[in-house]
Amino acid sequence: MKASSPPCRFDQLDAFLAGELSAAQVEQLEQHLDACPFCDEELTRRTADESFWEDTKTFLSSADGLASDHDTDNHPLPTMPDQNRFNASGQDTPLGQLSFLDPTDDPHRLGRFGGYEISGIIGQGGMGVVMKGWDVSLDRFVAIKVLNPAYAGHSAARQRFAREAQAAAAILHDNVIAIYGVDHWKEMPYLVMPYIKGESLQQRIDRTAPLSLENILEISLQIARGLAAAHDQGLIHRDIKPANILMPASVSRVIITDFGLARTADDASLTRSGVLAGTPQYMSPEQAKGESIDGRTDLFSLGSVMYTMACGRPPFRAETPYGVLRKITDQPHRPLSQLREDLPPWLETIVDRLLQKDPSERFDDAHQLADYLADYLAHLRQPTTTLLPKIEAPTKRLRPAIPLVVTFTSLLLVGGWFAIDRFAARNRNAPPSVLDPNETSVPPRASDANPSPSAPSPAHLEWEFDATPLDQLETELDLLLKETVADPFADPSPTSE
């Protein structure tokens, strides 16, 4: 008889996402997820998937159909939230989830939050809600991201929330969301960001995919520049996906948002066992394996975003998140040329380079990628005056090889010095040679006790140093160093072009 699986416990899912489960507990949870589709779906919903923060719903949505910039100006709402009512922006979020708001005298508002008048819901997810608020003191609309009261006492959730604010505030770039401020109200942390009309890249893809070649390059170039600015600050986003790319309606600009998973490159918790951070469809292989990561993990995610813009779907798909992760780590993606014949081969080359399983086979950094994308975009717009760029082979990182060469050289020099010194000492202490019987023994003179340095050495103490072995070692070392610098990771087997 098959043993029944343990009962569903959502608190275990929260502990798993916070990294508080032991290895045995993680293994038990994975077994339960394999047998319980309900918990598997709930975990997917909570792990920054498409529904997280619901950016694809109305975040930065345009005000089409509304009389003014206010989400609820012509749709008065009750002052006290009603569990059976829905907000005026057309979302399926019950107003009861906003019970933490203070009442307001304005019938066109949902309520008050701190010093802000809340006029609508931008997005919501399992851990919180993003609201549209009116800053009374500065007379402007803002986006307010509030941590769910249920998670306000959860240390891991609060740390992630604070980390998002710190990460985004450290980057000053046109393609990265700005942070106006961070504060607490009623024991709930929140951060204030610009409110920008428009749509997310996911909404654009859902509406118009596949995107044109020029749009793909324009959007990808700006994302790469934003990532370069973040990486220059030592930050890795770890959750680049279309829903986290905002596109203002009034300008041709894209903005990277949601730095909730961002970490510094030397953060030890990046490799904590059993914890996966990111959206499965856009996660890098090293993220899926729980290995150490650097900025190139964001480049893999950007490659998946470019693939999605070109085809309307991610490069890796499966029925479950674990199935997606398995494909990301073990299987190649389907070439773009098989899905869109109108795309040039060089775009497929860029995407293939970004989606390499080995980070060293991708572009060196976001700056290099941005330079290539800018050159290709310029060639696309002015093909007669701008040459088609040529992508160089990936540069191997030589840091693991150089210390070995330096260590070998040091040992060789020290060993050679000791050998020479020992040989000289042996000759100095050698016994006198047997005298020739034909020679007459002459007692040494007193002046011979301390011979002058210029006096010739006796025959049995004369020696000549042979540097031939050391010269051969130096030549071999020089050849080894040149081969290592050229390509320390190259496959020695010949490859056909």
- Per-residue pLDDT of 150-209, as tens digits, reads 777 777 777 777 777 777 788 899 999 988 988 888 888 888 999 988 899 999 999 999
Domain ranges of the chain: 10-46, 63-194, 199-381
Checking if the pLDDT of 57 tops 50, the result is no
Provide the pLDDT for residue 249.
85
Lowest mean pLDDT among 60-69, 273-282, 320-329, 459-468: 60-69
Checking if the pLDDT of 354 tops 60, the result is yes
Provide the pLDDT for residue 58.
36
The dotted CATH code for 199-381 is 1.10.510.10
Length of the chain: 497
Q: With pLDDT > 90 as the criterion, what percentage of the chain qualifies? A: 36
Number of CB atoms found within 10 A of residue 39's CB: 20
Residue of 239, 258, 298, 365 marked catalytic? 239
Distance CA 57, CA 296 (A): 30
Which run of H or E residues covers position 340? none
What rounded mean pLDDT belongs to the chain?
75
**Annotated catalytic residue 239:** yes
Checking if the pLDDT of 77 tops 50, the result is no
At residue 70 the predicted structure's pLDDT band, cuts being 50, 70 and 90, is very low
Provide the pLDDT for residue 47.
56
Distance CA 103, CA 415 (A): 82
Q: Residues 274-287: pLDDT tens digits? A: 445 557 899 999 99
Provide the pLDDT for residue 2.
46
pTM of the model: 0.62
Average pLDDT over residues 82-101: 51
Provide the pLDDT for residue 279.
72
| Residue 24 vs residue 142, higher pLDDT | 142
At residue 336 the predicted structure's pLDDT band, cuts being 50, 70 and 90, is very high
Is the Cα torsion angle 386, 256, 263, 41 positive or negative in sign?
A: negative
Number of CB atoms found within 10 A of residue 179's CB: 20
Query: Do residues 112 and 118 touch, judged by C-beta distance below 8 A?
Result: yes
For residue 194, say if its preceding peptide bond is cis, omega within 30 degrees of 0: no
Provide the pLDDT for residue 134.
95
Number of CB atoms found within 10 A of residue 466's CB: 8
Provide the pLDDT for residue 166.
77
At residue 116 the predicted structure's pLDDT band, cuts being 50, 70 and 90, is very high
Which run of H or E residues covers position 191? strand 188-194
At residue 431 the predicted structure's pLDDT band, cuts being 50, 70 and 90, is low
63-194 folds as: Phosphorylase Kinase; domain 1 (3.30.200)
353: Cβ–Cβ under 8 A, 6 or more apart, which residues? 303, 361, 362, 363, 391, 394
What type of residue sits at position 208? Answer: T
